[in-house]
A and B are shown apart, each in its own frame.
Chain A
């Protein structure tokens, strides 16, 4: 175990990359997802069809396919993304597709009466969405959103496949440099477990705090 501790600075650099990637992706993915979910329910027919195609295509492919296509694709057509940008984009697109479904599902469970009541008060579409529908839908989204966040954190480990300097990559480099694979990978398992478990506990706490009485 001292072998792992000696490499702590390099491993921390990798973990920092992973955490940065996770932060960017969760913000971008949630934003895409909320827009996508609202669009899936209330959008124009063409927008709805496009969003449906986006969600179903991304959800039907493994994450690594999205990562590889966005890693090699844009560069070949002259769009120079840095490797961090391309992998963040791939993960955000993946997260956005899953989040769209979560948002759509949560909004769809809001009782019809709430929307009718808002309409009878004279609220137009956007005020109705922001002050009646979303405040009630957000607490319902938190448990599946937490699961998605854990999946995204686990998904950041796939950055190692395109040789990004993420946590798993730094673990792998140090493990092969020192020859102690088992010790390094077991330590990585502990780190991943702590991070993911913290995310799901935080989600459960948030879910308890925001619980509302929904008829």
Chain B
């Protein structure tokens, strides 16, 4: 017997043509909580990815600019490896592969399961590592854009290399990389869309659930797409406005 909620009425006639598929938005509207919760989780994951990715990126960019051969090699390998591999594969490696790297019930496996207890956590970790590689490139370009004169001025004041990095390069660099940071945030937000594949309840999960529960793929994905689009535009305009409002003291 066909369940009640599927309500299989034949699609209506429009100008004498029977449409093969009728859009029924009530399946989306009745379950808008899934979409709202998913959107908030997607934003949260993107924000966490940006925060931890920035930390990774800053450390790697300064290590790279230190000129130490080993550090340069390690950072370059990390950046090139992550940038040339699909995010979905990285998610698979961490979600399915990593617990297998250690023998069953060993301390290593316990540690992995403690660190990555839920798909959400796994995805956030992967997203941070992924964002870190892209942000390393951004911060490196920022470091290179700091004028020679500032560094010479710092050196003539007798500052050590650490002091120059902390109080000259970092603040000047942050001004130039800020627009790239908001672009990265928006693209990370869009990248969260694949997390539903390992069971994270973000926005695409809601769309997929409308498909699997009610066989309404078009409505679900169109609604999710619209939400992604509106949020991305809103973020782009909002962040650009905020960038203009910042009063720089350096």
Q: Which residues of A contact B (CB under 8 A)?
A: 56-57, 60-66, 68-69, 71-73, 76-78, 150, 154-155, 157-158, 160-161, 168, 172, 175, 180-182, 185-186, 188-189, 192-193, 196-197, 200
Contact = CB atoms under 8 A, between A and B. Distances in A.
A182 B83 CA distance: 20
A185 B217 contact: no
Given A60-B229, A76-B20, A185-B93, A150 B193 contact: no
A180 B100 contact: yes
A181 B204 contact: no
B97 A185 contact: yes
Contacts of B20: 76-78
Given A76-B20, A161-B197, A69 B222 contact: yes
Interface string B126-163: 00000000000000000000000000000000000000
B84 A69 contact: no
B88 A62 contact: no
A188 B90 CA distance: 10
A58 to B, nearest CB: 9
A62 B193 contact: yes
A158 B196 CA distance: 12
B192 to A, nearest CB: 8
A64 B92 contact: no
18 contacts: A56-B233, A60-B233, A62-B190, A64-B193, A65-B225, A69-B221, A77-B20, A155-B86, A158-B88, A168-B88, A181-B100, A182-B93, A182-B100, A185-B89, A186-B97, A192-B84, A193-B81, A197-B84
Contacts of B98: 182
Contacts of A71: 217
B197 A193 contact: no
Contacts of B33: none
Interface residues of B, number: 38
Contacts of A66: 225
B194 A168 contact: no
Contacts of A192: 84-86, 89
B80 interface: yes
A73 B89 CA distance: 27
B84 A196 contact: yes
A168 B229 contact: no
Contact of A189 (B89, B96, B101, B229): B89
B96 A175 contact: yes
B15 interface: no
B190 to A, nearest CB: 4
B233 to A, nearest CB: 6
Contact of A160 (B85, B88, B222, B224): B88
B181 to A, nearest CB: 18
B124 interface: no
Contacts of A62: 190-194, 204, 228
Contact of A150 (B84, B89, B96, B222): B84
B207 interface: yes
Contacts of B239: none
Contacts of B83: 150, 196
